[in-house]
Structure 1
Amino acid sequence: MSQDATFEEGGEAPLNLGALDAEDLKVISALVQDAVFVAADMSWTPAGRRFAILLNRFRWEDKGGERHGPERVRSLLVVDEVLRVASQGVPHRDADTILSLLSVDFEPGEDGTGHILLTLAGDGAIRLEVEALGVTLKDVTRPYRAPSGRTPSHSD
């Protein structure tokens, strides 16, 4: 009998996770909180029904932070079965503006359809209409020391 992997087991290994329901998506949302990216790192392929963002993800799961300091890693956040994309507060004309991802949520519709809402800092949001929930998060580089040298904080 096999058991599900625990959060702690991902400590030093690259992540490669999938979400097929709202509970799975909560795990991915926690792992991408405070990820940063620029608008140029977003891509939607309507014919392929795929939306992707190349993120600089803070490694919340890292247990060696005391040893080597806070780290980030480049990760791909991919949403499949995307029918439409809408955004608010996303500067498409300025592709170099840094955006910060706060959460990823699922708003269910009928028969497995729904909307995935990517909430950004500063009142920005990206809303993806999906035929079915299918999200993956995959680390694609080795971790690197966070340029700020600090862990993100929301204690304002």
Structure 2
Amino acid sequence: MTDSLKMAALDQTDLTVLSALAQDSLTKLDQVEYDSKRGRVTLTLNRYVWEKKGALRRFFAPKERRLSALNIDRVTAARRKGMEAAATGGVLSLLAITFSDSGEDHSPSGTITLTFAGNAALALDVECIEAQLTDVGGVWEASRRPRHAGDGLETGEAG
């Protein structure tokens, strides 16, 4: 896989790019692991490949998903909200990854929030931003492109 993705995020700008690349990734709650001793949260994702040439075209866009891993390090605490459906085997669709700082002067600490469809969220208190998104395996054709309000596809147009 010569075109596989490997990206690190060490600040808010990097995390914004990583969030865009991970948008519409699918996972299940049993594919989210928190290792409190190592301070690491790992998510196994079925990532939609937005960066592929032509992926943003409305029609005849290549539709591809890849098996990816999202690692977030320096985690001191983890909380989840609204994941009841996911706890019973439901799929989580990642919408965004954001960071809010702790408000302490010159401190890189804060909270990384992974927001999922259906008002579900995973909030991770971190010492600093240290995250990696890496394609780790299989590539397959997606059945359809993810739909978002305002892209002309929410009414069922082909894409």
TM-score (structure 2 length as normaliser): 0.84
Q: Cα offset for 1:29? A: 0.3
For 1:12-91, list aligned pairs within 5 A: 13-63=3-53, 69-91=62-84
Q: Distance in 2 between matches of 1:59 and 1:93?
A: 26
- Aligned partner of 2:124 in structure 1 is 128
Among candidates 125, 129, 143, match of residue 139 of structure 2: 143
Partner of 2:67, secondary structure, is strand
Work out whether 1:98 is the aligned partner of 2:91. Answer: yes
Among candidates 143, 147, 153, match of residue 153 of structure 1: 147
Q: Distance in 1 between matches of 2:121 and 2:94?
A: 9
Equivalences, count? 142
For the 8 Å contact 2:52–2:62, the answer to whether it is kept is: no
RMSD in angstroms over aligned alpha carbons? 1.8
- Aligned partner of 1:9 in structure 2 is none
Give 1:139's aligned amino acid. D
Q: Cα offset for 1:90? A: 1.2
Q: Cα offset for 1:145? A: 0.6
Q: Cα offset for 1:26? A: 0.6
Gaps of 5+ in 1: 1-11
Gaps of 5+ in 2: 155-159
Q: Distance in 2 between matches of 1:64 and 1:21?
A: 28
Q: Distance in 1 between matches of 2:138 and 2:41?
A: 23
Partner of 1:101, secondary structure, is strand
Which 4+ stretches in 1 moved above 2 angstroms?
64-69
Q: Cα offset for 1:64? A: 5.8
Partner of 2:50, secondary structure, is coil
Partner of 1:34, secondary structure, is coil
Q: Cα offset for 1:68? A: 8.2
TM-score (structure 1 length as normaliser): 0.85
Identity percentage of aligned residues: 35
